Structure 1
Amino acid sequence: MGKISKSTLNRVLLRTQGCQFAHNYERMQSLSLTYCFAPVLEELYKDAPKEERVHAMQRHLEYFNTHPLAIPFILGITAAIEESTDEDQKDTVVGIKTSLMGPFAGLGDSLLNLTWFPIAGSIGASMCVDNGSIVGPLVMFLLINLLYWPLKYFGLHKGYEMGMDLVEKAGVAIFDRLGNLANVLGVMVTGGLIATTVKLKLAVQFAFGEGDPLVLQDQLDKVLPYALPVLLTFICYRLLKRGQGKNSAQIIIGLIVFALVFAAIGFYFPAFKIFA
């Protein structure tokens, strides 16, 4: 594998687990990134003079901020370039590392924060919504890390093995496929959760003469099953999108008030009868 050993890369991988613990408002993740990358620099500069080793560390303390999942990808590529670049061209290493943080941050946010995390959280929540079982949070934790760890390991080791080729050749195709798979899975999970978790029924009945009353919900189920949960979910989605997620507390309170008011007047619990 060249000058950098596999054990050194694994040390970097373990250190990336704590990459969010050293944020500051001036340079964001620069301190934690340098700590994560330190084993590589220690191995590459183990026989170098002290001044050169200090300068190598200081070079990586420039401003840096990206998604935590992207850090192993970027550090793997940076390690490959750091290893193959002459000392008078090390500014190229910092430039490439900085240029990668934006695109990888967007990919990490779209794949994990906006897709996989909500899917895992929804699956976990659906497992404990009825009885409060602790299995739900454990399932969420496992689902997140079953994707998180393999991607970080692959990103670090493949990033070092392929260098910039990971981005220029394989990177786009890999993330496009992951994005498509995550979107399809997200739609399937969301559709299933709407039908099983969102509860909204009408208790309106129309009584005609002495016969059995016409239950509006039964008729609706024959034509459009789960139409009301889907409609309620769509309304909440539009409200959240309009408020850019900042109005989530108001929406939750509004749903509670909506449920209490309509239950009291008979749209859910006592039957509200209209006589002909």
Structure 2
Amino acid sequence: MKQNTMSKEDRKMLNSIFWRSMFLSSGRCGGQVRMHAVGFINSILPALRRYYKDDQEGYRQALMRHTTYFNMTQHVSTFCMGLVASMEKKASEDSTFDTSSISAVKTSLMGPMSGIGDSIFWGVLRLLAASIAITFAASGSILAPISFLLIFNVPAFICRYYLTYKGFSLGTTFLSDMQKSGTIQILTKAASILGLVMIGAMVASTVTFKCALAIPVENADPITVQTYLDSIFKGLVPLSLTLGCLYAQMKKININIIMLLVLALAMILALLGVV
């Protein structure tokens, strides 16, 4: 079923699911046990209310069915929502339909879809947006927050909207075809590589250290410590600081504590005249 062949009611329902999906993470009141389950139910309510309008028992069972654990990158979760909407439609029309398959499909989608979503949106797009925004922020430009919001959110909105319709129209054949062809593995690997490149480029361009210490020499120019640091390993201090922060994160130290420690270190070195 193509988007231009869908009925007006289908498009209205899918548009409503799309807008409701913006609040998927707000439904995380289920904690680690249910994660986004409540947000998922809120997102697909237009479909459930439409297809079980005259079947209160079916509506109740559908609500209970979706209270189970659900956790997926929210920018690609609309594909699962569209797919579930199409399956709920079939379940409401066919009494012999195995409704347990709906939960099974949701579970099978969480892994591969989150792998793609996390790699692209959190691993690549967010870093790209942040690196560009930091460049503007360093010069005090108002374009810093604007560029970040546009670079990250415009593709995210387009992806949400497109996948809502694709999930509803293509159904399970889309995922199975991607798995058989190996496209999911290729996309995940490529996105991960690109994300690592972006992290390295951002560290090299934004984390800087220039030592102000100099050793005086009689009848000659003073010897700057920075010159020797560069001759040993250019960018040694910024790289060491970055790896130190990464090590602290691996030790489960709160990110806010790490930021405060880096800020305190910068202030101390500045007061001592080191930088």
TM-score, length-normalised on structure 2? 0.77
Q: Which residue of 2 is the match for residue 97 of structure 1?
A: 106
2:167 maps to 1:159 = yes
Structure 1: 4+ residue segments shifted above 6 A: none
2:265 maps to 1:258 = yes
Aligned residues, how many?
Answer: 263
2:247 maps to 1:247 = no
1:30 corresponds, among 29, 37, 41, to 37
Q: Which has the higher helix share?
A: 2
Q: Which residue of 1 is the match for residue 223 of structure 2?
A: 214
In 1, distance between residues paired with 2:13 and 2:226? 63
Percent identity (aligned): 24
Report if aligned partners of 1:64, 1:101 keep a CA contact under 8 Å in 2: no
Q: How far did 1:72 drift?
A: 0.7
Q: Secondary structure at the match of 2:234?
A: coil
Of the two, which has the highest radius of gyration?
Answer: 1
Q: Which residue of 1 is the match for residue 196 of structure 2?
A: 187
Q: After superposition, where does 1:59-74 map in structure 2 within 5 Å?
A: 59-67=64-72, 68-74=74-80
Q: Which residue identity is paired with 2:24?
A: C
Report if aligned partners of 2:127, 2:198 keep a CA contact under 8 Å in 1: no
Residues 247 and 44 of structure 1, relative CA distance in 2, 3 Å threshold: closer
TM-score, length-normalised on structure 1? 0.77
Q: Which residue identity is paired with 1:12?
A: I
In 2, distance between residues paired with 1:230 and 1:152? 37
User: What RMSD over aligned residues (CA atoms) do the two structures have, in Å?
Assistant: 3.2
Q: Which residue of 1 is the match for residue 129 of structure 2?
A: 120
Gaps of 5+ in 1: 269-276
Q: Secondary structure at the match of 1:65?
A: coil
Report if aligned partners of 2:84, 2:168 keep a CA contact under 8 Å in 1: yes
Query: What per-residue deviation string (whole Å, max 9, x for no partner) do you get for residues 187-212 of structure 1?
Result: 34333333332221223333443122
Report if aligned partners of 1:34, 1:57 keep a CA contact under 8 Å in 2: no
More displaced 10-residue stretch of structure 1: 12-21 or 28-37 = 28-37
Report if aligned partners of 1:37, 1:75 keep a CA contact under 8 Å in 2: yes
Residues 65 and 226 of structure 1, relative CA distance in 2, 3 Å threshold: same
